[in-house]
Amino acid sequence: MFVRSENMKPFESKIWLASPTMHGEEMRYVIEAYETNWMSTVGVNINEVERTAAEKAEVKYAVGLSCCTAALHLCVKLAGEKLYGKSANGHGAVESKRVFCSDMTFSATLNPVVYEGGIPVFIDTERDTWNMDPVALEKAFEIYPEVKLVVAAHLYGFPGKIDELRAVCDKHSALLIEDAAESMGATYKGKQTGSFGDYAAISYNGNKIITGSSGGCLLTNDLEAANKARKWSTQARENAAWYQHEEVGYNYRMSNVIAGVVRGQYPYLEEHIKQKKAIWERYKEGFKDLPVSMNPFEEDKSVPNYWLSAMILDKDAMCEQVRDDSTAIYRPEHGKSCPTEILDAIADINAEGRPIWKPMHMQPMYRMNAFITAAGNGRAKTNAYIAGSIEDIGSDIFKRGLCLPSDNKMTVKQQDRIIEVIKRCFE
């Protein structure tokens, strides 16, 4: 059990999980927006962010929006219209349609499906990358062959098996939406994440690899789709001298001021990735003698952006831990630990960690939704499932995993102290 010693006093300043890293260049473009009075949702900064975002992601078009969730919403709306045409009742074109979604992710990945009236079906995780399992996705199509839309995320900046997921989608004539909110700058087989999907979204939220404090982009190679997204994002105003509206629109366009911050951040994307990689590697080296491992990736295929470093404890190194929907308790045990103990220990020295994303099929609002594992229907109340012989990967990673302080302003000395505190949890 961890006991803080005298040399483990709290940091004077909090060590964050991930916070904005600013460089000064950002203010140049913010001031430019101010001085030229382009303070609304049009301007040079937005144009430059869209151009740079498309170029970096290796797609033809990017649409600057207020946040990544807005981008994902318009991705789902575009996919729905392409698949099913416009809805006649004013609701989403995917209404009452099942959509296959990543299970272990933030709720923003799939909330837009619900906005459009769709029904999320959750696809279990695979261990190699902690992302959507292509085998489980294929199994899902066997169970629900009518499904024509898949929404897959890249967790913590570590690419999933996106070429395999793409192949399964193509086999079943399904569209793929790629949630690259966390993985900007990461590549799979030399190709940028965000360029594999029919539509994709990236985030500039305050904790992301680069930031505008908020904001996001929709990515696509379809000019018509990009133009539709721009129209919808500005309340779907028609090309008339007065305010003419023929369909539902949204106030989703990116601010030219926010775009100034993003524009000033883009030149530092590769530098931030290099810093994040060094953090992940220092953790890996520091934990080499512990019964833990770092969040995985296919080293011969992908290059992560290392946005968040995470770790998972070996099964036989876990002390007893129990969680309900809001609290967690554990029973200390010599030589063992658990995520709750480790998170408490690093919080005790003023460092921030987080549990792994709680899988969506475990969330109260989605507990009745279908959940598909590589073995089939994970909701089936068979004796085998209850006994645990049908493995649910996402729940297991959630139980044994945690996110570590990954702020790229953290010093080596500070990280070494965090590593030492975590080591002490296993004593």
Q: What is the pLDDT of residue 401?
A: 98
One domain for residues 245 and 277: no
81 and 136 inside one domain: yes
Q: Name the domain boundary from 230, 245, 267.
A: 267
Spell out the per-residue pLDDT of the chain, length 427, in tens: 555 555 678 999 999 999 999 999 999 999 999 999 999 999 999 999 999 999 999 999 999 999 999 999 999 999 999 999 987 566 688 998 999 999 999 999 999 999 999 999 999 999 999 999 999 999 999 999 999 999 999 999 999 999 999 999 999 999 999 999 999 999 999 999 999 999 999 999 999 999 999 999 999 999 999 999 999 999 999 999 999 999 999 999 999 999 999 999 999 999 999 999 999 999 999 999 999 999 999 999 999 999 999 999 999 999 999 999 999 999 999 999 999 999 999 999 999 999 999 999 999 999 999 999 999 887 754 444 443 445 699 999 999 999 999 999 999 999 999 999 999 999 9
- How far is the CA of 416 from the CAs of 8, 279, 285, 410, in angstroms? 11, 10, 11, 10
CATH classification of the domain holding 65 = 3.40.640.10
Same structural domain for residues 251 and 112?
yes
pLDDT of residue 378: 75
Residue 387 covered by a domain: no
Closest CA to 59 of 189, 211, 225: 225
Check whether residue 111 and residue 249 sit in a common domain. yes
Are 159 and 110 in a shared domain?
yes
348 inside domain: yes
pLDDT computed for residue 391 by the predictor: 66
Buried b (16+ CB within 10 A) or exposed e, 19-53: bbbeeeebeebbebbeeeebeebebbbbebbbebb
Question: Which pTM does this prediction carry?
Answer: 0.95
Q: How far is the C-alpha of 63 from the C-alpha of 401, rounded, in Å? A: 35
Contact predicate 106/357, CB 8 Å:
yes
Q: What pLDDT is attached to residue 162?
A: 98
Same domain, 260 and 273: no
pLDDT score recorded for residue 50: 98
User: Taking a C-beta distance cutoff of 8 angstroms, is the pair 360, 372 a contact?
Assistant: no
User: Do 405 and 333 fall within a single domain?
Assistant: yes
What residues make up the domain containing 182?
A: 25-267
State whether 310 and 180 are in the same domain. Answer: no
Residue 309: inside a domain, yes or no?
Answer: yes
Find the farthest-apart pair of alpha carbons in the chain and give their distance in angstroms, rounded: 74
Residue 376 lies in a domain: no
